[in-house]
Amino acid sequence: MSFGQSTSENQLSKLGLKGNVRLINEKVKKTIINEDGTLKKTIDSETITEFDFKGNFVQLSAFRNGKLISYINYDYNENDCPIRATDYNADGSIYLVINYIYSDDGFIKEQIYDRSAQKTYDSNRESIDIEYFTYYQGLFTKVVFENDFMGRVQVKSFYTDKGDFSYKYTYEYDYLGNCTVLKYYNSAGSVSWQSKYQYDRNGRVKVKKLFKNNYLAQTTKYIYEIDDSENWINRTETSKVVKNIFGQLLNDEIIETTRIISYF
């Protein structure tokens, strides 16, 4: 799991995908389990991601219960870096526009979120008659990136429309460029939680440990099935909550992700 933003990398390589991938149909089933072991609920989702022959995103479509709910299209500069992502509702109306700004080194510097159209929708993308100010005003509109000399994101800070700091993430990497520590800082500047990652020899996450107040709260283990191109096509994430006060708001979970990958 790398957060590099180099202009020499296409979207496929940033996602750790190999080969000339044309399309990925990804279905996710999330099962949440109560403390007594009974089923709490399941959540199903589906996405279809299309790439061009250069390995860049063309369109990302999201489905719920087999029905299209949104799709995102991308525009690129002469270096094949995304400069704009436009998020559409299923009917083709614009929901959100994200503009990307790069440094002179070609690394991402800022993302600017144009949420003007989003004000007329609630959090479920349902159209409403009045602007949804309470929801809208709490959302960030600018993300500022701090990168190392290789273009890997070290700090990602989120700001509201008024310029107020909202929260931030910090990232640490191993010598292979895999993110090993992800920390979340709240609006007060304190670390609320952090995740630590372990990888297999192919750079795939095999264990994630979630800590709150430096106490282990949840452990997630990953199992993969790989295709002939060395891309994973099935992944099972099994999360177990540690029985302490820091795991009280968490649940045991099983997330099963299935991919159908088409190649050029």
For 39-59, b/e burial (b = at least 16 CB within 10 A) is eeeeeeebbbbbbbeebebee
The token duo for 144 is 């500022």
Answer yes or no: is 119 within a domain. yes
255 pLDDT higher than 60: yes
User: Number of folded domains in the chain?
Assistant: 1
pLDDT digits (tens, 9 = 90+) for 129-157: 655 555 566 789 999 999 999 999 999 99
Whichever domain contains 143, its CATH number is 2.40.160.190
Give the chain's length.
264
10 versus 113: the higher-pLDDT residue is: 113
Query: Per-residue b/e over 211-228, b at no fewer than 16 CB within 10 Å?
Result: bbeeeebbebebebeeee
Kindly tell me if the per-residue pLDDT of 107 is higher than 70. yes
Q: What is the pTM of this model?
A: 0.90
The pLDDT of residue 131 is: 57
Q: Domain residues for 187?
A: 11-263
Report the phi/psi class of residue 148: left, alpha or beta, with left for phi > 0 and alpha for psi in -120 to 50: beta
Decide if 2 is inside a domain.
no
Q: Is 144 domain-assigned?
A: yes
Q: Is residue 259 part of a domain?
A: yes
pLDDT tens figures, 21-37: 999 999 999 999 988 88
- Residue owning tokens 């299935």: 258
Distance of CA 180 to the CA centre of its chain: 16
Inside any domain, residue 205:
yes
Q: Is residue 258 part of a domain?
A: yes
Give the pLDDT confidence score for residue 65 in this predicted structure: 87
User: In angstroms, rounded to a whole number, what is the distance separating the alpha carbons of residues 157 and 37?
Assistant: 38
Residue 3 maps to a domain: no
Would you say residue 1 lies in a domain?
no
